[in-house]
Structure 1
């Protein structure tokens, strides 16, 4: 070793800002691991039983994993990077840690879980991980004496920190060619299903320990006093409040529960009272169908739980950046903890948890954190048969791992409840019969196109009414908006659908919400994105026909709180495209229901809605369809997981395309893609932080942009886009 190399190896640093030795960082990581043992005590006991070892042996294996995860930093490349600010880190330290962890712990049923977790603790594990370094020799890359000295202290530190003897013999690390070691560690063909859960615990434990040791934050694993916090927040908004009977009943229920209560009547607070009883030192996970509802619920949960709340969905980084700034340490930490469900409370779209089933990014952390958690599924009726079947499969897997569930809906069709009970068993349904007589709407079916309502809409606007006009397709909403603009020459009208970039979409949402509180008239022309997205209370509704549960959600945006007595709702014949979106059978049944003499022109009570929903979704027919979809999904999951060796993270490269097509949380009648309109490229190129490009993303059907995607520029599409109409079509 040269004099310069000796100097580099004189002090093995793991961190540079601030400087921290490998002993210091590892000591902090071990401290968090010991806390993890308490936080995940039930998980560890379960996985130990799965693996056929004692909980104490499993903890020792986890200890070795965390202790040796950064020993690869005792390399000359990494120390050169730290000491003299060499930009190149050389060989990845996670790979250089591999010979040591491999030698320190024997395999478990032939699988080197510790090695797999360590080598992938900065990059998700997949079959070709480090294959580009397979010809590399480990020999000569280390500050070898320092590395081996640290390695040999493992049994000593283990006994000092746990009070127990290290149960394995330390073997001499093999410092030969990387290929030989990688081949042995990756020998995972046809491993049993339990491998997935065991591996995820090793990854989760290492991530908790390493990330928290590096973050320097005041971390809480779980939030307590849920009922007390909820009551305090409700009292702050309404000093004269009192809990409803159904809310008092639910707080005494232990275990899974169904909640069927009308919109705006306190379902969320009821669910939180249930959580107080069922959290048991775990995490609270609140799942919703859309990003917009997730953003709104996140702010609502923050008023109750403060900074203990995380948010996870496709554009959650925008919300986090608004609070902490782009690229700050606070932003990076919050984004990481949120996306992995590590916060005490996580509000997320359903997709984040469902995609973990398909080994999507950070699947190991998400599933481990969901185990033994209290999980709330809000608007559970909102999903198609495919997503519902995927939820049933997820619930079945998490139920085995100790999670508890609350399922909430204003409608809750019987087939859905029965389908869920097929997974979790028979559970109580919380409802309030006093609401059955509640009437907020009178529906009128008009068997003509909705364009014939333009003059009626104009009159409502001139009378100062806030009016919702809901169409079933984006194209129809654009056409209706354009025709209304010709008769209402004012800025008091807005178009809102799914084909706006994220920045413009959020501006429109804010405008729609704010105008609900103004005294003058306003018109929002929208698609079904408004159904479970915006918490608004408008005065009038004109809508195309849709399935009854969708109509109920639309009506829930009008006279939401019932302060206007009974409001007339006007339903018009659907466009042909509506049948493609909702299905022939669903639209046929909806048409029969609204034309029924007992319904058309009559006040609709909450009790009647339950009956109408059952007519819309005949139980036996829907259960048969759901069972068929469940079988298809289980086949797809089985195929995907076997091909991923159970534990690989799904990759984005082309050769993984077949498996990626299986990994979807929603059934798409038309494939969609996220793009950025090319007109914004110059603006994006000037951004100080590339992550801010998320403001310009929009998801659209592939057929809209297929001919104008720029293959050489990922994300971009040369489309006609403007802030008023959104994406219209390709420019050429």
Structure 2
């Protein structure tokens, strides 16, 4: 017989770990977790969670598992070789003193505890009851080795089938109790197994905010005071661009765990840098989480090794403050097996959603339903936006999501205590062309925003042909060039920069990018997106001239930049209604309140009608997931509307072939994880994302072909495609359908 029962086998870098050692690691993290967030659970649920910790791995005390984690020399004779191995989480319940637990906690709470242990790993269930007698005899042998450390029953039994039926969780109150226990058990278990902290201690954000405001000689404005005084409420806040919404959100967070979401990675990186460099947040306490997070962390390590523990903490939402994309956290609404850890974390968190109107109809429906779950289970939320379609408010109210919304929006005021007027808008019912742009002075900071990459490239070429210097930014540049361009537009757009220049862009600069240009020429997409684009012009300045600084090109009759395909617009119904309403405000100064009124007029159900594709998708998604039963879906829902493939353009490959092949060869070697990540980041500098339909066309030799593939491992590869690419224009291919907003 074994003298010790193992939970984990030895590796090259760590010794074998016994069941009691592993359990104690979880208990230590349970204690630390409770110290940091004592209100995350009730006193009773903290105790139930502790019991789940103590019982969760006892099922590893069986011959098949013990032989699996030991060397051949340490194996014990298996008396039941004909029986398949049973997952240990199912066997753990056989050791649990069920009658005592029912006496101590009551039948309902005991059932939640047993369910949490039984399902703490999601595996295919097996009918162990058919061979229950044999397995009970095997487990019985290990009772003496467990008795000294655990409170178990003397005879393991398979008598808990009625306690493991997940139909019990169709009751929402039962589900939320289970999610807290099972989700936090997983959080503790993964942290102990991965040797990282389950939660990082709070960073005293309120004191950092006090110091930041004091150093800047600032006092809280009305919005910031409003949220500071109401930190325990959920809020929907409509406020002017440039009013200080980010600082207001941080005042609202106080000393609670926060998750700050934004729609675009470039704005997420900018907010993260502000938190570190201006607010004074600690890098070890502030998470950056999105699909390119490794590359962004590498840029910020000051020649030091990549801190893998920091990245692990960010990925597992273990930081007191994390800045992230919404798709990283909101997929739990699918209630798929394993969703519990994410929702359990959000149960004691505050989530900030910036510019909710930027999201697609499907993702917006996910967010609304996600806020229902988050508030039901105990979390808080703050929606901040300059414009809010009434559709969202209507949905939140119908789902009975509690929130506060002040009747009047928060407006930015000038030195005379009047609402700041930053924009004089002219509607032009023509296509946006170079000829139209050049009717106006170019010796200023000029921003041109169009709806497709192809249109942006076309305009750039025309500027080039006239000899007027302009810069181009869109999503189809390789990572290396795109980063250089993003840095350049941020530098010119800095309010203290006195230089002039012309930038042609797409949606990339539409939201939460802190740039301040003098004049905007833009194609109309829809009203809400237009106002986001306007927010990059005269961001914090009063506009006192009597000529437009915003020129909106609608096209006639189809949208500007669209030859003959209505589907290339985000929603033709919304475009048409936006154009109709905006024309009523042509050739006049627009304050923020007027913009908010326009949004109310455009985005109501009555205005858009039942045929609106956006409303149909929003309603259908909400209805499907609202009625979804727990564990009905097998997999996480896909939240990204356009799926991309990273590729290396053939011209980029030929120009950098030696470096790319050298990286590829290095990656084929056995490397330290830090080294591999750094090499991958270097390789990704040569990649560009394209829509999967475009990649499929290349594979079929339509408009290009795949010449070879740079394979990194069985999960990662970068096809080399013959789509034309230049550093000035980016990736070029003719068929731009489905490429709107890139």
Does the TM-score normalized on the shorter chain lie above 0.5?
Answer: yes
Structure 1 residues 698 and 173: CA distance shift in structure 2, 3 A: farther
- State the Cα distance separating 1:392 from its structure 2 match: 1.6
Are 1:443 and 2:425 matched, yes or no? yes
Provide the secondary structure at the position in 1 that maps to 2:471.
Answer: strand
Query: Residue 724 of structure 1 corresponds to which residue in structure 2?
Result: 728
Q: Which moved more, 1:186-195 or 1:285-294?
A: 186-195
Hey, what's the Cα distance between the residues in 1 that align with 2:245 and 2:512? 16
Q: Which residue of 2 aligns with 1:616?
A: 602
Distance across 2 between alignment mates of 1:154 and 1:7: 14
Which of 264, 278, 289 is residue 312 of structure 1 equivalent to? 289
Q: What is aligned with 2:326?
A: 350
Higher helix share: 1
Q: Measure the CA separation in 2 of the matches of 1:526 and 1:82.
A: 66
**Residues 100 and 251 of structure 1: is their aligned pair in 2 closer, same or farther, counting only changes over 3 Å?**
closer
Match of 1:545 in 2: 524
Q: Is this contact kept in 2: 1:259–1:406, CA < 8 A? A: yes
Deviations 1:290-323 (A, max 9, x none): 2222222222233433131112222223223434
Among candidates 359, 368, 376, match of residue 344 of structure 2: 368
Equivalent of 1:382 in 358, 374, 377: 358
- Structure 1 residue 205: deviation in Å? 2.7
Structure 2 CA distance for aligned equivalents of residues 138 and 325 of structure 1 = 59
Aligned length: 660
- Aligned mates of 2:394, 2:698 — CA distance in 1: 46
Tell me by how many angstroms 1:508 deviates: 2.1
| Alignment pair present for 1:244 and 2:224 | no
What corresponds to 1:103 in structure 2? 95
Residue in structure 2 matching 1:591, options 553, 560, 579: 579
Q: Which runs of 5+ in 1 are unaligned?
A: 47-53, 84-91, 156-165, 175-179, 651-659
Partner of 1:470: 449
Structure 2: segments with no counterpart, 5+ residues: 75-83, 102-106, 654-659, 668-675, 700-705, 736-742
- Which residue of structure 2 aligns with residue 51 of structure 1? none
Is 1:269 the equivalent of 2:247?
yes
* Larger displacement relative to structure 2 (93-102 or 695-704): 93-102
* 1:253-290 deviation digits (Å, cap 9, x = unpaired): 241222222111111212222222xx6xx421111112
Q: CA deviation at 1:397?
A: 1.3
- Show the counterpart of 1:288: 262
- Distance of 2:609 and 2:97 partners within structure 1: 49
| Separation (CA, whole Å) in 1 of partners of 2:518 and 2:480 | 27
1:75 is aligned, of 45, 63, 66, to 66
Selected match of 1:28 from 25, 29, 32:
25
User: Against the structure 1 CA distance between its residues 528 and 105, is the aligned structure 2 distance closer, same or farther, given a 3 Å change threshold?
Assistant: farther
2-side partners of 1:342 and 1:594: how far apart? 45
- Is the contact made by 2:6 and 2:60 (CA closer than 8 Å) also made in structure 1? no
Alpha-carbon contact 1:71-1:93 (below 8 Å) kept = no
Deviations 1:532-554 (A, max 9, x none): 15221122211112322212111
CA contact 1:458–1:487 (8 Å) conserved in 2 = no
Among residues 593, 597, 615, which one is paired with 1:607 in the alignment? 593
Tell me, in whole angstroms, the C-alpha distance in 1 between the residues paired with 2:31 and 2:371: 29
Call closer, same or farther: CA 1:11–1:685 in 2, change over 3 Å. Answer: closer
What's the secondary structure of 2:351's corresponding residue? strand
CA distances 1:307-357 after superposition (whole Å, capped 9, x unpaired):
3111222222322343459997832x3333222322111211111222122
> What SS is found at the alignment partner of 2:540?
coil
How far the C-alpha of 1:8 sits from its partner, in A, is 11
- Measure how far apart 1:498 and its partner are: 2.3
Name the SS for the 2:381 alignment partner: strand
Matched with 1:158 is none
What residue number does 1:495 align with? 472
Q: What SS does structure 2 have at the residue aligned with 1:542?
A: strand
* Contact map agreement 1:555 1:569 (CA 8 A) in 2: yes
Q: CA deviation at 1:362?
A: 6.2
Q: Distance in 1 between matches of 2:126 and 2:661?
A: 36
Q: How many Å separate the matches in 2 of 1:264 and 1:467?
A: 19
* Mapped partners of 1:355, 1:501: distance in 2: 29
Match of 2:147 among 146, 152, 177: 152
SS in structure 2 of the partner of residue 201 of structure 1: helix
Aligned CA distance change for structure 1 residues 541 and 200 (closer, same or farther; 3 Å)? same
Contact 1:380–1:409 at 8 Å: present in 2 too?
yes
* C-alpha spacing 1:68/1:721, structure 2 compared with 1 (3 Å): farther
- Work out whether residues 468 and 540 of structure 1, in 8 Å CA contact, stay in contact via their aligned partners in 2: yes
Q: Identify if the C-alpha distance between structure 1 residues 143 and 561 changes in structure 2 by more than 3 Å, giving closer, same or farther.
A: same
Indicate if the aligned counterparts of 1:393 and 1:630 stay in contact, CA closer than 8 A.
Answer: no
Query: Using the alignment, how far apart are the partners of 1:233 and 1:138 within structure 2?
Result: 67
1-side partners of 2:297 and 2:73: how far apart?
30
Residue 550 of structure 2 corresponds to: 569
Distance change >3 Å, CA 21–CA 615, structure 1 → 2: closer
Whether the 8 Å contact between 1:672 and 1:699 is mirrored in structure 2 is no
SS of the residue 2:388 aligns to: coil
Distance 2:55 2:728 in 1: 55
Provide the rounded CA distance (Å) in 2 between the counterparts of 1:171 and 1:295: 56
What does residue range 708-723 of structure 1 map to in structure 2 within 5 Å?
708-709=698-699, 716-717=718-719, 718-722=721-725, 723=727
Which residue is equivalent to 1:417? Answer: 393
Query: Which segment drifts farther, 368-377 or 192-201?
Result: 192-201
Cα distance per residue 1:227-276 (max 9 Å; x no partner): 3321212333x2x2222133223322241222222111111212222222
CA 1:191–1:267 in 2, change beyond 3 Å: closer, same or farther?
closer
Q: Deviations over 1:565-604 (max 9, x none)?
A: 55612222323357632322222233234433xx322222
- Matched residues in 2 for 1:486 and 1:560: separation? 31
For the residue of structure 2 that corresponds to 1:357, the secondary structure is: helix
